[in-house]
Amino acid sequence: MSVRKIPQQLVPLALIFAVALAALFIARKLLVPATFGDIGYYRAAAVGEIASQPIAYAGSRACLDCHDDVDQIKRQSKHRSVSCEVCHGDAAKHVEAPDQVKPIKPIGRGYCPLCHGYDPARPTGFPQINPDVHNPGRACMSCHNAHNPMLPHAPEECAACHRQIASQKTVSRHATLTCTTCHETPEGHRSTPNLIPAEKPKTKELCGRCHAQGADSPPEIPRVDLETHGGRYVCWDCHYPHFPEAAR
């Protein structure tokens, strides 16, 4: 009886298989970390290694010893849920040596919009702004307090928004007149000026209140004949009301 010969193409195949098998064993020995498998599909040594890394964050409680004043304020504020180190960065080194290591202070305009910049994914009602148009050019902190971010009131003084007119009036003969002497200004104009406009005078009788011949006003105020002076024009066609001058 003759044994059937092994097909000769199997010999190189078997060889390749043997080499691959050997390579796998060598790779396992060389590449798989020593403690892999000790506690399941993990590298057991990783736990100790991570635990031995220096701790960078101290946690909010660590700040209380020395900055209780800040915490007292923040605790009552809308930022109560935002931890100190979210804004000030890892501060463990600072806790150890407060005088040598200072935490960062995010005082520019770049940081706050990470939470407050418009993003449709944020919850409805979350306070959001577009940093490109929301009071550009000034640090957020010049109007908002990071530890107590209340919404500041819009400026109420007329001069806060109409600076140039107010400055001109200050050095004019009308310096003592308040803006509202001549402008009826609804309360809402001070906070939403584009929706609620202020009134502009319409007739020369306004000026006549002080400048007409028989007007009930202090005698040192110069008088004109309201009927004839200026003809058919309104007074402010010739006199700028915020800096009135009489050409002499």
**236 part of the interface to ligand HEC, by CB under 6 A:** yes
- The single residue among 10, 45, 86, 101 that binds ligand HEC, judged by CB under 6 A, is 86
- The single residue among 50, 106, 186, 219 that binds ligand HEC, judged by CB under 6 A, is 106
**43 part of the interface to ligand HEC, by CB under 6 A:** no
Dihedrals phi, psi of 146, to nearest 5 degrees:
-65, -30
152, 144 Cβ separation under 8 angstroms: yes
**222 part of the interface to ligand HEC, by CB under 6 A:** yes
What's the min distance (Å) between Cβ of 127 and ligand HEC? 3
Considering only 17-25, 26-34, 35-43, 95-103, which stretch makes contact with ligand HEC by CB under 6 A? 95-103
What's the per-residue H, E or C state across 100-169?
Answer: CCCCCCCCCCCCCHHHHECCCCCCCCCCCECCCCCCCCCCHHHCCCCCCCCCCCCCCCHHHHCHHHHHHH
Bridge-based pairing state of the strands 36-37 and 40-43: antiparallel
- The single residue among 38, 181, 188, 196 that binds ligand HEC, judged by CB under 6 A, is 181
What's the per-residue H, E or C state across 185-218?
Answer: CCHHHHCCCCCCCCCCCCCCHHHHHHHECCCCCC
**220 part of the interface to ligand HEC, by CB under 6 A:** yes
**206 part of the interface to ligand HEC, by CB under 6 A:** yes
Closest by CA position to 73, among listed 147, 8, 23, 123:
147
What's the min distance (Å) between Cβ of 49 and ligand HEC? 25
Task: Tell me how far the alpha carbon of residue 139 is from its chain's centroid.
Answer: 8
Nearer CB in complex with ligand HEC: 44/226: 226
**165 part of the interface to ligand HEC, by CB under 6 A:** yes
**21 part of the interface to ligand HEC, by CB under 6 A:** no
Alpha carbons 89 and 66: distance in angstroms, whole number: 17
Count CB-CB contacts under 10 A for residue 57: 14
Considering only 1-9, 34-42, 44-52, 88-96, which stretch makes contact with ligand HEC by CB under 6 A? 88-96
What's the min distance (Å) between Cβ of 54 and ligand HEC? 15
**180 part of the interface to ligand HEC, by CB under 6 A:** yes
Q: Which residues are 129's β-sheet partners?
A: 117
Closest by CA position to 198, among listed 186, 215, 213, 206:
186
**122 part of the interface to ligand HEC, by CB under 6 A:** no
Per-residue binder mask for ligand HEC (CB under 6 A), 124-163, x = binder: --xx-x-x--xx--x-xxxxx-xx-xxxx-xxx-x-xxx-
**26 part of the interface to ligand HEC, by CB under 6 A:** no
